[in-house]
Amino acid sequence: MLLHKITSSSASMHIGSRTEYLVAAAAAVVVVVVVVVVVVVVVVVVVVVLVVVVVVVAVVAIEVEVAVVVAIAVVVAAAAAVVVVVVVVVVVVVVVVVVVVVVVVVIAAAALKRVQTTKPNPAVVVVVVVTVVAVAVLVVLVLVVVVVVVVVVVVVVVVVVVVVVVTVVAVVVVVVVVVVVVVVVVVAAAVVVAVIVVAVIVVAVLYFFHRGTNVWFV
């Protein structure tokens, strides 16, 4: 009976139907999950490459002392910690972005329900502005958090390495810093792309589900 009601109500494609909410939310979540998986895979590959580089540097340096080995282990562990923190922060922020976007869209859909005239729809304008501002604030916050975490960890690692040894590890530190910067850039880009894709999908789903009704005007 419930399925029949949903099916019959979807024929008229009124704004605010539960089917559209579910479709929009599902599409957004699927895209975000795919983006997060890709980011995690890239991060894992970068960590593996980093470990290989560190091992090669240690092997090439014939006179490797215990202090150097310890310093290298500290650098690798710190780099891995940075990567894990960045990934966790990104996943959390992406989930928050999805929730915010879906909630805003649901509120917009409820406000626009069964409304159709020829005037510009102020509710759509308000919803678009609120969504853009919320997403922009979240993106800025995640970038700030990532940068702060990376800077703090890298500074600690460099200090430890300089105190322990200033020979072979100097090269390793340079490699680690470069790799960490690359990881941060990739993750930040992935977050921005995920936010943009989610916003586009939500808007597209609502628009095409209402192609018989002009959503942008009332």
pLDDT digits (tens, 9 = 90+) for 138-166: 666 666 666 666 666 666 666 655 555 55
Cα-based distances in Å from 2 to 5, 6, 7, 18: 5, 6, 9, 11
User: Closest Cα partner for 215 from 150, 124, 111?
Assistant: 124
pLDDT at 157: 63
Indicate whether this model's pTM tops 0.75. Answer: no
- Distance between CA 42 and CA 80 in Å, rounded? 13
The domain ranges of the chain are 25-58+66-209
pLDDT at 205: 59
Q: What is the pLDDT along the chain (218 residues), one digit of tens a residue?
A: 433 433 444 444 444 455 565 666 666 666 666 666 666 666 666 666 666 666 666 666 555 565 566 666 666 666 666 666 666 666 666 666 666 666 666 666 655 555 545 555 666 666 666 666 666 666 666 666 666 666 666 666 666 555 555 555 566 666 666 666 666 666 666 666 666 666 666 665 565 555 544 444 44
Residue written as token pair 């699927």 = 30
- Residue 217, helix vs strand vs coil: strand
Cα-based distances in Å from 131 to 112, 150, 161, 197, 202: 16, 28, 45, 13, 11
- Distance between CA 31 and CA 36 in Å, rounded? 9
pLDDT at 4: 42
Contacts of 111 (CB under 8 A, 6+ apart): 123, 127
- Distance between CA 51 and CA 41 in Å, rounded? 16
pLDDT at 127: 65
139's tokens: 């993106």
Query: How many C-beta neighbours within 10 Å does residue 145 have?
Result: 16
pLDDT at 10: 43
